[in-house]
Chains A and B, each alone.
Chain A
Amino acid sequence: MACLGNFALFLVLFVILNAQCRAVTIEEKDENTFKNTPTDTGSTTNTSGGGHEPAAIQTLPIVTWKWHHVETPYLVALWILTCWLCKLVCELNHKITSVIPESGVLIILGFVLGGIVWGADKAQTFKLVPVNFFYYLLPQIILDASYCMPNKLFFSNLGAILIHAVIATCWNAASVGIALWGCYEGGAMGNLDIGPLQFLLFGALLSAVDPVAVIAVFEEVHVNEVLYILVFGESLLNDGVTVVLYSVFDAFVSLGGPKINAEEIIKGIISFFVVAFGGSFLGVVFAVITSMLTRITYKVQVIEAGFIIVIGYLSYLTAEMLSLSAILSITFMGVCCQKYINANMDEKSVTTLRYSLKVMANGSETMIFIFLGVSAIDKNIWVWNTGFILLTILFIIVFRFMGCFFLNWILNQTRLIPISFTDQLVMSYGGLRGAVAYGLAALLDEKKIPEKNLMLGTTLIVVYFTVVLQGITMKPLVQWLNVKRSTKSDLTLNGKANNRVFEHVVTAMEDICGRMGDNWWTRNWNHFEKKYVCWLLMKKDARKINDKILGAFHTLNMEDARNYVLENEVNGSLGFIRNYDAANVDFKEKIAFDYANIMPNIMADMSDYDFNIENVPVTSIIRNPVPSVSMDINEQDMRNINGNLTAHQILDQNLYQSRMHNHPAYSRSNYNTTQNPVEVQEIFQRTMRNRLESFKAAKRGISPANKKISKHSKKDSTMKTNGKPVDPHRTHPFGDEDFEFSADSASSSEAAANFPGRRSGAGIVNPAFIHEMETPSPMRNLPQTQTGNSRLPLKPTDLRGLTPPRMTNRSTDSVMMADASVNEKKPEKPEDKPGSHNTKL
């Protein structure tokens, strides 16, 4: 597979190389190479559209070769494709990425690509240009990182993060710069044309701990969350600080040594703070704007997610325009608004936003790493100076450790939970340098800094050293030090609920003992936020559902619904008949009322038709990471939380919807399926008839259970034997005269019991069921409610207390009636469980 990937890669590359046109100057190409990455919203103006004036033609050409018209965007697209293919190659080779972090592999692949370009062109025609990097590649990465930042964790550790980001960065910059200068004066590097200020500038640009590299590595090793947030937050903010520091020192360098006096230095310090805090403040302002905007964007739901991206990008550019810190601006924008926009926007939009940000961020991340590698293959930038390079590497590591340990020591004096020694070690070791450092180095002005190339080359070496070497050793180090790993994020309702209890207890205790602690501040902020901030930034109905426990409840329900559908689909059971009383009642009533009399006569021909329609996408939709199922559930859920609902309802609605996805309805602005109730009804009837017909057939004894047998895993079949309705609370077994499911479920369990030898999947197929076996749809499959559901005895009841799904007009009415019974039965629910355990065993 790898070979295949590589082959494709080289193919693409050769296309690029062969098609290259020498007419465009190298420089221009560089500029353009990145100008038009598709990931940049709003910046996709093609700058070099027209290449050549068409010559006067003699005759009408049928087709013409118009390479020049498309050259730039074409090259960009090809490069993007190449980079992404490289990532694909990495992902395919798990053996490699388990040792070397992916970022490292990408850089190495970048070397290879760069080598090929070099071999073909005898010059490095493509490299990472700072402008492209800072304007088109970096923003989305930062936005993604900040938007997905665990908010609470971030703010509760904000103090530590800020101290590390600001003080440690300044310390690193100053110490590395001064130490290098000292060594230079001491004669360790021979003769170089670098003054102390330039050294400081160099130190500043090297102090950027790269979030991309760090996250890439830390996520792979799964460190505990406090450590993670410290390093992550630090590296994110530290980028901003580094850029600020860099520009201050850059100004000093342009000012020149003699002109710098106390006044200028003070100005520099002030400028540092103004730029940093101004940028952050700007970000908060943009966050407020975004949040307020999302209160109304539901009117244009299609592009809702786009607003966030564009405004984020604008906040970046605005800060850049005002010469404030752009990175800090977009960081704070993302961190601050996430809570409100997530509450305001429709769940679909949130998912869209998340995914599109991820695509953009990962895409540009990949490109950055590849180009970090590609850029190295350029003999112009390599000026070797052993002393300089080695000392740089030594100093950045040593001073990072010193700074980290010292600051953590200070922090530990006041921290309730001290940062442990191993965590500190990992934190220090996690100081990976990345593209920001390279970008800043490439920004250096050769006129002011004659040794730019040396610095650039050294920066590259530092990047390689930290990303590749430290990246490789990080995992073993974490394992060896036995660093506390992250525990699985608790999705459990009990976890969340009890967590909330702790919070309340702790604050109450503080009130009682009269201490104004962190919790006091937290609580007051929460109070303020609830009262004013939410009022300003959140939609009215969003405010109500903004609760963590409900959130967990909601998530759990979603999980359940999804699992439920999936599992039943696998089991071949009907989704909405469950072995719980209420649901059965519902269903029975529904069917009895509506379909009892129409069922017999129809189906043989219909089944084919049905089959054709539905066998296509249901599974793919449901298995999709952005499942349509979940969306439908989400729509109404929290809003009608008091409404009557059952899991049943949700599920059968999902089932309709799944079918409906097949109806070819395209709308420019909507991805919704048709809501036409008649259609829904019609589909439902058709399926029901079809199914009931099958049951009838089954009942008549056309070897009913084979289908299941041939399809099912062993796990399932063990349950089958016990799959009879043993639930003592079930008041009505399935054997009701107008309702044939009982026949099937009973007979299936019998059959399973009678032919144990067949269970492991002998593949005996009843011709009557062939179609259904091939269809992935949960609707198509026969109801093995007993067996199917006993696998997840708890799930259905979980669902019952559930939030309502979208109430499709038609399907709910009869269900609603039955809800009364559900509610009455609620108190018994825990006792339902023993029953379900029975079935399980």
Chain B
Amino acid sequence: MGSFQSLPDDHHYRTLSKKTGFSLEQIGILHNRFKQLSLNEEILRRDDFNKVQDLKDNPIRSQIVEAFFDRRNFHKDGVGSMEEIGFEEFLTVMSYFRAPALHTTEEQREVIRRAKLRFLFNMHDTDNDGTITLEEYRHVVEELLSRSGSLGKETAKGIADTAMLEVASISVGQMAPDEFYEGITFEQFLKILKGLEIETRMNIHFLNMDTTVLCK
């Protein structure tokens, strides 16, 4: 982390570009943004994210920010979360949102899809035990609904419970009779979201143009 000591050199950009798939221009832009957020430092802390104005209205802000510090998003077997991240980590998280290339094969698409879903899954699975438990799920739904005004916790609970049952009912075939339904595993997560075209939707259109000035 904090891999930049000096001004970004071309070589470093290239390495990052290879690693994350962003173009050099895009990396440049994102680096500018990174510096803007971190107030010209090499590391980014949670507080820095909280300063982003537009993010204030986001009901699931905390989870999203948390995702930036989640080691699981950087390495396959990473555990725990970090206190601060460098540009490379920032870029890695961003790269989950790259649009797939124009011509991708079916398998590549599946890989992308899995990666994106894994990202979301990790976001829900806060305690990193491989399942989204009911508690975790309730939390998500509660936060999602937190902006809809008068709907109380009970509703959120009810919805989360129903959603959970739905998962259970979909994956019921795999369960032994006396088994508990502990939570959603990643495989089940994949299964229930089969209909969702995530690979075409969880994308940001990264322009090759610097628009940082326009946003706060």
Chain A neighbourhood of B195, CB < 8 A: 487-488, 490, 492, 495
Stretch from B1-9, B13-21, B71-79, B204-212 contacting the other chain: B204-212
CB contact under 8 A between A502 and B161, given known A549-B144, A833-B181: no
For A831, give the chain B residue with the smallest CB separation: B180
| Contacts of A499-535 to chain B: CB distance below 8 A | 499-502, 504-520, 527
Residues of chain A at interface, number, CB under 8 A: 62
Cβ < 8 Å to A, chain B residues 9-36: 30, 33, 36
Q: Within 8 Å CB of B197, what residues of A?
A: 487
For the side of the interface on B, what is the size category? 35 or more
Tell me the complex Cα distance, A517–B94, Å: 15
Q: Does A418 contact B (CB under 8 A)?
A: yes
Report chain A residues within 8 Å CB of B59.
504
The reply to whether the CB of A448 lies closer than 8 angstroms to some CB of chain B is: no
* B39 contacts the other chain (CB 8 A): no
Structural contact, A642 and B211, CB atoms closer than 8 A: no
Q: Are A549 and B204 in contact (CB under 8 A)?
A: no
Given A495-B196, A497-B144, A838:B177 Cβ within 8 A: yes
Residue of B36, B49, B144, B181 contacting most chain A CB atoms (<10 Å): B144
Of B57, B94, B151, the residue contacting A509 (CB under 8 A) is B94
Contact between chains at A416 and B60 (CB < 8 Å): no
Map CB proximity to B onto A415-441 as digits: 1 under 8 Å, 0 otherwise: 011100000000000000000000000
Partner of A502, one of B124, B157, B201, B205: B201
Counting CB contacts under 8 A, is A625 at the interface?
A: no
| Residues of B with C-beta under 8 A to A418 | 102
In the bound complex, CA of A520 to CA of B215 (Å):
10
Q: Collect the chain A residues with CB atoms within 8 Å of residue B54's CB.
A: 507, 511, 520
Complex interface: chain B residues within 8 A of A517 (CB)? 204-205, 207
- Bound Cα distance A492, B179 (Å): 24
**Pairwise interchain contact A505-B60, C-beta atoms closer than 8 A:** yes
Residue of B nearest to A792 (CB): B169
**A829 within 8 A of partner (CB):** yes
* Also in contact, A498 and B193, with CB within 8 A (given A416-B205, A514-B215, A549-B145): yes
Chain B hits for A833, CB < 8 A: 165, 168, 181
Q: Is A514 touching B159 in the complex (CB atoms < 8 A)?
A: no
| Known interface pairs A498-B196, A514-B212, A515-B207; A506-B158 also in contact (CB < 8 Å) | no
Q: A547 at the A/B interface (Cβ < 8 Å)?
A: yes
A544 is an interface residue with CB less than 8 A from chain B: yes
Q: Say yes or no for A801: interface residue by CB 8 A criterion.
A: yes
Any chain A CB within 8 A of the CB of B112? no
A505–B148 alpha-carbon span in the complex (Å): 17
B161→A829 contact, CB < 8 A:
yes
Do A549 and B49 touch (CB < 8 A)? no
Do A416 and B203 form a contact, CB below 8 Å, given A505-B120, A511-B54, A798-B162? yes
Name the B residues within 8 Å of A831 (CB-CB): 180-181
Are A507 and B168 in contact, CB atoms less than 8 angstroms apart?
Answer: no
**How many Å lie between the Cα of A497 and that of B167 in the bound state?**
12
With A487-B195, A544-B150 as contacts: A513 and B205 at CB distance below 8 Å = no
A519 to B201, CA, bound (A): 11
Instruction: Specify which chain A residues have a CB less than 8 angstroms from the CB of B203 in the assembled complex.
Output: 416-417, 506
Closest to B134 in A: A830
A553 pairs with B162, CB closer than 8 A: yes
- Interface of A: prevailing SS: helix
Contact residues of A between 299 and 325, Cβ < 8 Å to B: none
Instruction: Report the Cα distance A638→B125, complex, angstroms.
Output: 30
Asked whether any CB of chain A lies closer than 8 Å to the CB of B58, the reply is: yes
Chain A residues, CB < 8 A from B206: 513, 515
Cβ-defined partner of B52 (8 Å) among A512, A518, A543:
A512
- For B120, the chain A residues whose CB sits under 8 A away are 498, 501-502, 505
B188-206 interface mask toward A, CB cutoff 8 Å, 1 = contact, 0 = none?
A: 0000110111101111111
Asked whether A747 is an interface residue with its Cβ less than 8 Å from the other chain, the reply is: no
Give complex CA distance A488, B195 in Å.
7
> Bound complex: CA of A800 vs CA of B159, how far in Å?
10
- The complex places the Cα of A642 from the Cα of B154 at a distance, in Å, of 7
- Report whether A497 and B60 are in contact in the complex, using a CB–CB cutoff of 8 Å: no
Nearest A residue to B144 via CB reads A500
A69 at the A/B interface (Cβ < 8 Å)? no
Q: A802: CB under 8 A from chain B?
A: yes
B162 touches which of A501, A502, A556 (Cβ 8 Å): A556
- Does residue A837 face the partner (Cβ distance < 8 Å to B)? yes
Contact mask A389-428 → B, CB, 8 Å, 1/0? Answer: 0000000000000000000000000001110000000000
For chain B residues 131-185, which have a beta carbon within 8 Å of chain A?
Answer: 134, 140-141, 144-145, 148-152, 154-155, 157-159, 161-170, 172, 175, 177-182
Residues of B within 8 A of A515 (CB): 204-207, 211, 215
The reply to whether B151 and A506 form a contact with Cβ atoms under 8 Å apart is no
Q: Decide yes or no whether B37 CB sits under 8 A from chain A.
A: yes
Residues of A within 8 A of B177 (CB): 834, 837-838, 841
B115 at the interface (CB under 8 A from A): no
A799-812 CB contact bits vs B (8 Å, 1 = yes)? 01110000000000
Are B159's CB and A494's CB within 8 A?
no
Q: Which of B57-108 contact A (CB under 8 A)?
A: 57-61, 64, 67-68, 94, 97, 99, 102
Given A512-B52, A519-B204, A642-B154, answer yes or no on A505-B167 (Cβ-Cβ < 8 Å).
no
Whether B149 and A544, one on each chain, are in contact in the complex, defined by CB atoms closer than 8 angstroms, is yes
Contact A802 B196 (CB under 8 A): no
B140/A497 in contact, CB under 8 A:
yes
In the complex, what distance in Å separates the CA atom of A518 from the CA atom of B204?
9
- Cβ of A641 under 8 Å from chain B: yes
Q: Are B148 and A501 interface neighbours, CB within 8 A? A: no
**Distance of A780 Cα from B201 Cα, bound (Å):** 50
Interfacial chain B residues near A550, Cβ < 8 Å = 145, 148, 151, 155, 159
The 0/1 profile, CB within 8 Å of B marked 1, for residues 824-841 of chain A is 001001110110011011
Q: Which residues on A sit within 8 Å (CB–CB) of B145?
A: 547, 549-550
Inter-chain contact B215/A830, CB cutoff 8 Å: no
A506 and B161 within 8 A (CB) = no
**Residue from B97, B123, B151, B214 with most neighbouring chain A CB atoms (10 Å):** B151
Report if A794 contacts B (CB, 8 A): yes
Contact of B57 among A417, A502, A527 (CB under 8 A): A527
Residues of chain A with a CB closer than 8 A to B167's CB? 494
Q: Which of A781-800 contact B (CB under 8 A)?
A: 793-794, 797-798, 800
Is the pair B192, A838 in contact by a Cβ cutoff of 8 Å? no
In Å, the complex CA distance between A798 and B204 comes to 35
Task: Tell whether A753 is near chain B: CB-to-CB under 8 Å.
Answer: no
> Which residue of chain A is the closest to B206 with respect to CB atoms?
A515
Partner of B168 from the list A504, A557, A830, A841 (CB cut-off 8 Å) is: A830
Q: Whole-angstrom distance between the alpha carbons of A14 and B25 in the complex? A: 77
Assembled-state Cα–Cα distance A235/B146 (Å): 40
A495, A512, A830: the one within 8 Å of B193 (CB): A495
Contact with A along B114-126 (1 / 0, CB 8 A): 0000001001100
Report the separation of the CA atoms of residues A488 and B194 in the bound assembly, to the nearest whole angstrom.
Answer: 10
What A residues does B94 contact at CB under 8 A? 509, 513
CB atoms of B159 and A505 under 8 A apart: no
Contact residues in B for A498 (Cβ distance below 8 Å): 120, 193, 196
Interface membership of A493, Cβ < 8 A: yes
Nearest chain B residue, comparing its CB with the CB of A726: B177
Return chain B residues, CB-CB under 8 Å to A826.
157, 161
Sampled A-B contacts (25; CB under 8 Å): A492-B195, A493-B159, A498-B120, A498-B193, A501-B144, A506-B97, A506-B201, A508-B55, A508-B61, A512-B52, A514-B33, A515-B206, A515-B207, A553-B159, A642-B151, A642-B154, A794-B166, A794-B168, A800-B161, A801-B155, A801-B159, A829-B164, A833-B165, A837-B179, A838-B178
Give me the 3 closest cross-chain CB pairs, A-B, nearest first. Answer: A801-B158, A511-B54, A514-B212
Chain A residues close to B by CB (< 8 Å): 416-418, 487-488, 490, 492-495, 497-502, 504-520, 527, 543-544, 547, 549-550, 553, 556-557, 641-642, 793-794, 797-798, 800-802, 823, 826, 829-831, 833-834, 837-838, 840-841
